[in-house]
Structure 1
Amino acid sequence: MTRFAKLLSVILIGLICLAGCQQTEMFTVTFYDDMGNVLKTEKVAKGKSAVAPDAPIIPNSEQYSYEFTGWNKDFSEVTGDLKVYPTYKMEINKYTYTFLDYDDTVLKQQTTYYGTPIVPPKLNDREAPEGYRFDFESWGKEVGVLRGDITFKAEYRLVRYYTVSVYGADFTEIINTITVDEGMLPPVPREPKLERETGLYYDFLGWFTDSAEGELFDFTEPLTQNIVLYPRYEVKPFELKGKVVSFLGDSITTFYSTDSPLNSSFQGQYEYYYPNPQTDVQKFFQTWWATALSLTETTLGLNNSRGGAKVYNEGNETDVTAGMNYSRINDLGKNGRPDIIVIYMGTNDYVTTVTPTNFEFAYRTMLNRIFEVYPNVDVFVCTIQSPGSTYQQEFRARWMQFNEIICQVAGDYHLPIIDFSSIITDANHTKNTSDALHPNASGMTLLGVEAANAIKRFFGIE
């Protein structure tokens, strides 16, 4: 063997020994579940594949379902330590809710996602024996959000009821039929509208069980049978003295003092104007409305006047200050049904941003509601006194326009007008007012006399 061959053999033997002595490189592959718990740890030679454990299962919940979709890392050729986690597809569960009627008829059935609000169906009318009805009570279970398959069934209560048939003033037709549940008190119907003859007064006596001979019906006892009611009146010559007058107004018609026998009903700070240090009206009898009551020998029902009040409610039916709203109209009868209602409002509408269209709508609505609540009341409407020739021209134009609206509406409703615009005028404004809008004592007297005269003229009293 030559020296070269010997050297080559030595090198080959060395390489073989070196390869045999060198260790294989290994890596750690750890598999976890969705909660971070170790499922398996495996040593894997470089470039080799790890063996995954069985796919971990996440139990489905009431709300969600889970489907295993694989692992978050590739472990088919490992080149380093790995931490491998499972991946899942999550879906919101669907359920079905069903609504049944009393006879198991399916009213509604819907399949939708967990957590969706359950919407009940519209119920069908359930036929009942005459004099009875079925009132829906419940679906037997709480109707909330969908949390699983669920069925609801309608539950009803059989209710006995009676009818109250109400005749109009001339007894020719039934104008209203009221149903009253057994054991409940019947409501008192509103007094029907009556066409009255001039010079006569029709005093409403109440509701009777016969048009001529029946008894006055007792509304304090629960109904035990169907009834028919007739209105009855006592007809007598009209006498203005002692009639009840209520006022619906703004600050011009207010007055409040703790020592005054008569006051307006709004008595909070800024809700009344009189008495006021800026004016000489210091006693209630100096006001125009007290003057009118005195000269007509009538009695105050309620002075429902408030400073700053408008006719228009700006679209807010809960506004307790607006003249068109029921809260103020209902209060006019708080001390007994008025025979006469006098309205002096509109100043705060024309000096603000109320449009003529909205003012007319509000004024008509106010009158409609007054006649709804007090069908046979006599209503007087007042035009608005002059704000003076030096008042802003824009508002003077609105003052005249709003007075035209009041007169037009009064004509449409055939209502008498108390024309205050002809009493405090541009010519006498300065000496009869304490400011542009509020009368002083002399102005109050002029308005009160005119109101009394207008009321007397309407009833034919000199």
Structure 2
Amino acid sequence: MKDQKKRISILGDSVSTFAGITPPEALFYDAWRQEETGVTSPDDTWWMQVIQGMGGILGVNNSYAGSTVSGGFMTSGTSEKRLRTLSAEGEPDMILVAMGANDWGFGVHPQEFEYEYRRMLQRMKRLYPRAEIWCATILRGKPVPEEEMFFNVDGVISPNIYSDIIRRIGTEEAVHLADVSGYHMEYETIDGVHPNREGMKMIACLWLKELQK
């Protein structure tokens, strides 16, 4: 009997969206953006490349553009309703968490982020006690010359502070860490934040390096 493929679900923000797969009310990679970025197929996304690289299958990708871990909204990473959707196609064997960039970009206080990130992981562990949970630190996108940055990066504190929180809380909550920011690499973008096709490849490569350690 062949080994059953791992069912892998995704919890993310705009970087992890794709039309026809993620919630339609909060897309970044719609048809127009797909043409602009060259990310025209799910196979071009970082998360599908990771799933394929791990020999898995997609469970649910519940990624919302603009979503934060904090805030207490229905779209927040702590939202129990949102977390429950991760099993809509069956219990996930793995959950990849790519959240926190908007908390950084919107200037959420690090102390609040720390509290909410821990709460998100605790809820996730309670809902999915058998799942392997992987949390990514925050990668920086490469600025595009003469293009306006999506975030005012000069007006917010360093993303390293949020990545340090993810490292610490991940360790304390005994989940797995995908320390993608530890490589100190910037991925190709269209606006300093959202990856193009090449940027997606780099993100996937860094994730796979961490998952296959």
TM range (shorter): 0.7 to 0.9
Output one character per residue of 1:60-103: Cα deviation in whole Å (capped at 9) or x when no partner: xxxxxxxxxxxxxxxxxxxxxxxxxxxxxxxxxxxxxxxxxxxx
Q: Show the counterpart of 1:403.
A: 163
Which 4+ runs in 1 deviate beyond 3 A? 387-391
Percent of pairs with identical residues: 28
SS at match of 1:411: helix
8 Å CA contact 2:122–2:173 kept in 1: the answer is: no
User: Aligned residue for 1:321?
Assistant: 75
2:213 pairs with 1:450 = no
Which structure features the higher share of strand residues? 1
Match of 2:24 in 1: 267
Q: Which of 1 and 2 has higher RCO (CA within 8 Å, sep 6+)? A: 2
Between structures 1 and 2, the one with greater helix share = 2
2:102 counterpart SS class: helix
Aligned to 1:420: 180
- Compare CA radii of gyration and give the structure with the larger one: 1
Letter in 2 for 1:273: F
Matched residues in 1 for 2:50 and 2:184: separation? 16
| TM-score, normalised by the number of residues in structure 2 | 0.87
Partner residue of 1:434 out of 178, 185, 190: 190
- CA displacement, residues 39-67 of structure 1 (integer Å, 9 cap, x when unaligned): xxxxxxxxxxxxxxxxxxxxxxxxxxxxx
Q: How far apart, CA to CA, are the structure 2 residues paired with 1:423 and 1:339?
A: 27
Contact 2:142 2:189 in 1 (8 A): no
Letter in 2 for 1:382: A
- Return 5+ residue gaps in structure 2 as ranges: 144-148
The Cα offsets for residues 270-302 of structure 1, whole Å up to 9 and x where unpaired, read as x11114043221211100001001111101110
Kindly indicate whether the alpha-carbon contact (under 8 Å) linking 1:250 and 1:309 is maintained by their aligned counterparts in 2.
Answer: yes
Residue in 2 that maps onto 1:5? none
Tell me whether 1:392 sits opposite 2:176 in the alignment.
no
The residue that corresponds to 1:119 in the other structure is: none
SS at match of 2:36: coil
Which residue pairs with 1:253 in the alignment? 16
Answering whether residue 114 of structure 2 is matched by residue 360 of structure 1, we say: yes
- Give yes or no for contact 1:382–1:418 (8 Å, CA) kept in 2: yes
Report matched runs for 1:146-165 at 5 Å: none
Q: Distance in 2 between matches of 1:439 and 1:410?
A: 25
What do the CA deviations read for 1:323-376 (whole angstroms, capped 9, x no partner)? Answer: 111011111111110010010001111111321111011100000001111112
User: Contact 1:256–1:267 (CA<8 Å) still a contact in 2?
Assistant: yes
Offset of residue 421 of structure 1: 1.7
| C-alpha contact 1:418 1:454 (8 A) present in aligned 2 | yes
Tell me if the contact between 2:84 and 2:127 (Cα under 8 Å) persists in the aligned partners: yes
Distance 1:292-1:437 versus aligned 2 partners, 3 A rule: same
Structure 2: distance between partners of 1:447 and 1:423: 11
Structure 1 residue 412, shift from structure 2 partner:
1.2
Q: Is this contact kept in 2: 1:423–1:447, CA < 8 A?
A: no
Partner of 1:283: 41
- 1:452 Cα deviation after fit: 2.5
- Per the alignment, residue 135 of structure 2 pairs with 381
How many residues align? The count is 202
CA contact (8 A) 2:12 2:63 kept: yes
Quote the offset at 1:413 in angstroms. 2.1
Residues 342, 379 of structure 1: 8 Å contact kept:
yes
- Which residues of 2 match residues 101-140 of structure 1 at below 5 A? none
Q: Name the amino acid aligned to 2:28.
A: Y
| 1:400 Cα deviation after fit | 1.5
> Do the aligned residues in 1 keep the contact of 2:11 with 2:97 (CA within 8 Å)?
yes
Please, which moves more after superposition, 398-407 or 301-310?
Answer: 398-407
Tell me if the contact between 2:17 and 2:65 (Cα under 8 Å) persists in the aligned partners: yes
Give the residue type in structure 2 aligned to 1:380.
W
Q: Indicate conservation of the 8 Å contact 1:364/1:409, yes or no.
A: yes
Q: Is the 8 A contact 2:74 2:82 kept in 1?
A: yes
* Residue aligned with 1:336, SS: coil
Give the TM-score taking structure 1 as reference length: 0.41
Matches of 2:184 and 2:114, distance apart in 1: 23
Distance, in Å, in 1 between the alignment partners of 2:190 and 2:5 is 32
**One-letter code aligned to 2:83:** I
The residue type paired with residue 49 of structure 2 is: T
RMSD of the alignment, in Å? 2.1
